[in-house]
């Protein structure tokens, strides 16, 4: 069972390992790894990600590699309770651990 994240000013937050497993979270019930470097993060139903500020960073520690990259995308036409996180290395898709905060 993942532990909690103490993030009083974030509506949702999560720490995800490179395999797509939730390590700690707040208002994030699921993360699905749908391909190399592509993760679909579902947040609580009371959070509209298309009107939120979504910030992701590569998580340090074991699993992260030099040259790591991360990008986020929301799309109200598919699901306004989801953030898609793309991770990579040196311009190519690559699995990376990451933090995501939905503000």
Segment 14-35, tens digit of pLDDT = 999 999 999 999 999 999 999 9
**What is the pTM assigned to this prediction?**
0.91
Q: What is the DSSP letter of 2?
A: P
Residue 100, phi-psi category: left (phi > 0), alpha (psi -120 to 50), beta (remainder): beta
* Tens digits of residue pLDDT in 48-65: 998 999 999 998 776 677
Strand pairing partners for 39? 33, 85
72 forms beta bridges with 85
To which residue do tokens 């679909």 refer?
40
């Amino acid at each position: 069972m993942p532990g909690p994240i103490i993030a009083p000013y974030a509506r949702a937050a999560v720490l995800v390992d490179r395999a797509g497993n939730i390590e700690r979270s707040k208002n994030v019930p699921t993360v699905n790894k749908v391909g190399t470097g592509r993760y679909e993060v579902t947040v609580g139903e009371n959070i509209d990600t298309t009107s939120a500020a979504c910030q992701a960073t590569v998580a340090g520690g074991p699993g992260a590699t030099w040259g790591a990259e991360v990008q986020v995308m929301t799309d109200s036409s598919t699901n306004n309770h989801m953030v898609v996180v793309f991770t990579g290395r040196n311009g190519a898709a690559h699995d990376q651990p990451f933090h995501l905060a939905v503000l």
